[in-house]
Amino acid sequence: MNKKRLAIFISGRGSNMESLLRACEAPDYPADPALVLSNRPSAKGLEIAAARGIPTIAIDHKTFNGDRVTFETAIQAELEAHEIDFIALAGFMRVMTPWLVSRWEGRMVNIHPSLLPSFPGLHTHQRAIVAGCRLAGCTVHYVTPGVDEGPIIGQAAVPVMPDDTPDTLASRVLKAEHLLYPECLEAALRGEMKRARVQLIDTDPEAPILLGCP
Ligand code: GRF
């Protein structure tokens, strides 16, 4: 089987990264984790990846004094050195310029903690609560130059409870993220984007997850 060499970009704790690394352990999963890259040297996820024997690298954006293309040139050099085929952004908190995005068009995906196109950008859970949303969720999409705008691969929805805070909602959505991302990455890598499948997952009867991915 021709497995793609996957780079996962993180900035923090890396729980989505872990869900992808777990998925990659299956013999028939179409990706091999070849690099975990963080723009924050202190990102907890780097330790988790290193403990699993995955090559890691920190490229600290702060040392580039706002020169985004030079920062991205350094990233691109690492991607080439590790012969990367595909990138999964997993909590990577830097917006990339068209310089890098165009080089990876169709080969870079992201997970965003809202039901796009609602609530692109930051503070998604607080914004969903303030807006009175009854459903929240997450989206896996291809990365294009517009922030959180690329074609949608799959989504998962969870209920918003009356007493939710941004934190309680975030942890419910995060559970859904961990289910959704490996499924959508697999579909993207296999090029199986046409078959829609919606599945109700009753992990918690009060807060079921509705998973919709190819
Ligand atoms: C996730 O909610 C992801 O959707 C968002 O940032 C968070 C990262 O969490 N972009 P983790 O680092 O994967 O645990």
Question: From the alpha carbon of 10, which atom of ligand 1 is closest?
Answer: 12
Question: From the alpha carbon of 111, which atom of ligand 1 is closest?
Answer: 4
Q: What value does the mean pLDDT of the chain take? A: 95
Q: Nearest C-alpha to atom 9 of ligand 1 is from which residue? A: 91
pLDDT tens digits along 73-120: 999 999 999 999 999 999 999 999 999 999 999 999 999 999 999 999
Cα 53 to ligand 1 centroid, rounded to whole Å: 22
Ligand 1 binding site (Cβ under 6 Å of any ligand atom): 10, 12-17, 90-91, 111-113, 138, 174, 177
Residue type, 6: L
pLDDT band at 1 (very low <50, low <70, confident <90, very high): confident
Burial 67-102 (b: 16+ CB within 10 A, else e): eeeebbebbbeebeebebbbbbbbbbebebeeebbe
Cα 202 to ligand 1 centroid, rounded to whole Å: 22
pLDDT tens digits along 176-212: 999 999 999 999 999 987 667 899 987 777 788 999 9
Cα 17 to ligand 1 centroid, rounded to whole Å: 9
How many whole angstroms separate alpha carbon 168 and alpha carbon 136?
12
112 belongs to the catalytic site = yes
Q: Is the pLDDT of residue 3 over 70?
A: yes
How many whole angstroms separate alpha carbon 23 and alpha carbon 41?
25
Mutate to test the pocket of ligand 1, among 15, 155, 168 (most ligand atoms within 8 A of CB): 15
Cα 21 to ligand 1 centroid, rounded to whole Å: 15
How many whole angstroms separate alpha carbon 79 and alpha carbon 213?
28
